[in-house]
Amino acid sequence: MNYKIENGKLLIYENDDFKIIEDDLYITDGEITSIGKNASIDDSDFEKINAADHLVMPGLINMHTHAYMTPLRNYADDVDFAEWLFNRVNPVEDNMAVEDAYTANLLAFAEMIMSGTTMYADMHMFRCQSAKAAKEAGMRALIGRGLVGDDLYTDGYRRFKEALDELEEYSSDMIRFSFAPHAIYTCSPKFYEQITKEADKYGVLKQTHLSEGIIEVSDSLEKYGKTPVALLKETGFLDNAILAHCVQMRDNDIEIIKECGATVVTNPASNAKLGNGFAPVNEFLEAGVNLCLGTDGTSSNNTLNMFREMGLLSLIHKGLNKDSTAAPAKTVIKAATINAAKALGMEGKLGIIKEGAKADLIFLDLKLPNMFPANNIISSLCYSANGSEVDSVMINGKFVMKDRVLTTIDLEKVLNDSSKWSRFLK
Ligand SMILES: [Zn+2]
């Protein structure tokens, strides 16, 4: 289906800046093919979408999450980190069946779509379930099977084989894969070296958790005499890698990350909730590091709502730095769109309304009390919106939600199937 979107306001990014224009948008075969009143296009077979009183903007890109973890939402809160991980999260993961992970992913996508996210970067534990669910739901994804071990070809091989299997079975224009070693406290430096070589061989991206908490850094300094960042630089892994968290930066960590062309994904809600602190976002921005935004999983957030995360990113860093100009709205929106596309090697294709870009679009109702008056729509995305304004979502030129009704996910069935989780949620 081809579409002509009429009468809407469009969020455009040009010359390193966002602006709002009012114009038509033509979508052909999943791509934006023209912006503006274009009399030369024969639009007789285009479906016309009336976007009056709506903002049409690029779908948000959640660059770090664990979609399979939705059963753990509000399950282990207000407890210390060791209790949270070892006594609450791990036992549930051990008792989840493959079909539970599949349903968990669909529930995650329903929440993502209904709050304006069109793509997610995932680290998971259940072979093919993220990819299978994403394919059915029409989500765009970067998927990585979580990997752990000292040696990729011995103790790490079972999981790595699963990563290769799903890569072979599900790779597509919509679903891309990455190799995702978990963290330096579960994977050896040799393991990271091996993964780096395999990622080069398969031409896939790399993602990992890095410098999330103080203990990770002090243990690394004691064991290796280096920060986690310096340790991973030596393995070659940091080059163009996607690094979740990076809260505890020491020495010249930030310069190393910049030098290696790595992307930092900050997760403000998760870092605050688990008591890990706040990433030095201002310093990353000043150093020119590519900064993206993620929610992390629902057990440490407890939502997958990128509008909430954008608001938190800005407010936390204004408060933390005692600087009302820190993390301004445009910087935050860029982290959730343009910068994510850069990390994915998809600049100009994702996270932007532009001719030749993928038609991953969200439609926000501006005629709502919290969005009125529309003094500054760009500000409102960061400071007023909560995701419920999103009433329609298009991914790759297909509506996955229209007027608040999901078209690819049977939400009633997903909610019903999720009631079976009581079996392992004690
Ligand atoms: Zn994570």
Host domain of residue 149: 60-343
Total domain count for the chain?
Answer: 2
User: What's the pLDDT at 121?
Assistant: 98
The arithmetic mean of pLDDT across residues 175-201, rounded, is: 98
Q: Is residue 418 part of a domain?
A: no
Give 52 Cα–ligand 1 centroid separation in angstroms: 39
Does some domain include residue 352? no
| Residue 426 reports pLDDT greater than 80 | no
Is residue 174 domain-resident? yes
Confidence at residue 286, expressed as pLDDT on a 0 to 100 scale: 97
Supply φ then ψ for residue 240, to 5 degrees.
Answer: 60, 20
Residue 82 above 90 pLDDT?
no
**What pLDDT score was predicted for residue 85?**
84
Distance 141 CA to ligand 1 centre (A): 16
CA–centroid distance, residue 87 to ligand 1 (Å): 18
The answer on 65 and 48 residing in a single domain is no
CA separation, residue 271 to residues 209, 228, 280, 329 (Å): 12, 17, 12, 20
Q: How far is the CA of 252 from the centre of ligand 1 (A)?
A: 24
Predicted local distance difference test score (pLDDT) of residue 240: 97
Does residue 148 sit in the same domain as residue 252?
A: yes
Q: Is residue 292 part of a domain?
A: yes
Say how many Å lie between the CA of residue 1 and the centre of ligand 1.
Answer: 37
Please give the model's pTM, rounded to 2 decimal places. 0.98
Tell me which H or E stretch contains 218: helix 214-224
Q: Flag whether 415 is in a domain.
A: no
pLDDT, average across residues 75-91: 88
- Assign residue 248 the CATH number of its domain: 3.20.20.140
Rounded distance, CA 204 to CA 250, Å? Answer: 29
Q: Which helix (H) or strand (E) element contains residue 54?
A: strand 54-58
In tens, the pLDDT along 292-329 reads 999 999 999 999 999 999 999 999 999 999 999 999 99
Which residue type occupies 116?
Answer: G
pLDDT in tens, 176-186: 999 999 999 99
Contact (CB, 8 A) for 101 and 129 = yes
Side by side, the strands of the sheet bearing 25-28 are 31-35, 25-28, 3-6, 47-50
pLDDT at 95 over 80: yes
Q: 8 and 79 share a domain?
A: no
**Res 131: pLDDT:** 97
pLDDT computed for residue 324 by the predictor? 97
In contact, 293 and 244? CB cutoff 8 Å: no
Note whether 314 and 190 are same-domain residues: yes
| Structure confidence at residue 37 as a pLDDT band (50, 70, 90) | confident
State yes or no: pLDDT of 200 exceeds 90.
yes
- Are residues 124 and 18 located together in one domain of the fold? no
Are the C-beta atoms of 135 and 157 separated by less than 8 Å?
Answer: no
pLDDT at 39 over 80: no
What's the gap in Å between 148 CA and the centre of ligand 1? 14
Spacing, Cα 183 to ligand 1 middle (Å): 10
Inside any domain, residue 349: no
Segment 94-117 shows an average pLDDT of: 96
Same domain, 268 and 305: yes
Q: How close is the Cα of 295 to the center of ligand 1, in Å?
A: 9
Cis geometry, peptide bond prior to residue 373 (ω within 30 degrees of 0) = yes
Residues 230 and 286 in one domain: yes
Report the share of the chain in percent with pLDDT over 90: 93
Question: What integer pLDDT is reported at residue 122 of this predicted model?
Answer: 98
Give the pair of three-digit tokens for residue 422. Answer: 């009581």
Q: How high is the pLDDT of residue 84?
A: 87
CA of 297 to the centre of ligand 1 (A): 6
Ligand 1 center to 173 CA (angstroms): 24
Q: Two tokens at 368? A: 């709502």
Tokens at residue 213, please? 């908490």
**pLDDT at 276 (0 to 100):** 93
CATH number of the CATH domain containing 12 = 2.30.40.10
The CA 209 to ligand 1 mean position distance, Å, reads: 6
User: Do residue 119 and residue 200 come from a single domain?
Assistant: yes
| The pLDDT of residue 41 | 86
Q: Quick check: is 192 in a domain?
A: yes
| pLDDT (mean) for 169-177 | 97
CA of 208 to the centre of ligand 1 (A): 8
Q: 315 CA distance to ligand 1 centroid (A)?
A: 22
pLDDT of residue 288: 98
pLDDT at 86 over 90: no
- CA angle 336–254–338, rounded 5-degree value: 20
Residue 248 shares a structural domain with residue 271: yes
Mark whether 216 and 148 lie in a shared domain. yes
Say if 422 falls within a structural domain. Answer: no
Residue 6, beta-bridge partner list: 50
CA of 2 to the centre of ligand 1 (A): 37
Residues 306 and 369 in one domain: no
State in Å: Cα 65 to ligand 1 middle.
6
Q: What are 136-157's pLDDT values in tens digits? A: 999 999 999 999 999 999 999 9
Q: For the chain, what is the mean pLDDT?
A: 96
Paired residues of 180 in beta bridges: 146
Q: Mark whether 50 and 69 lie in a shared domain.
A: no
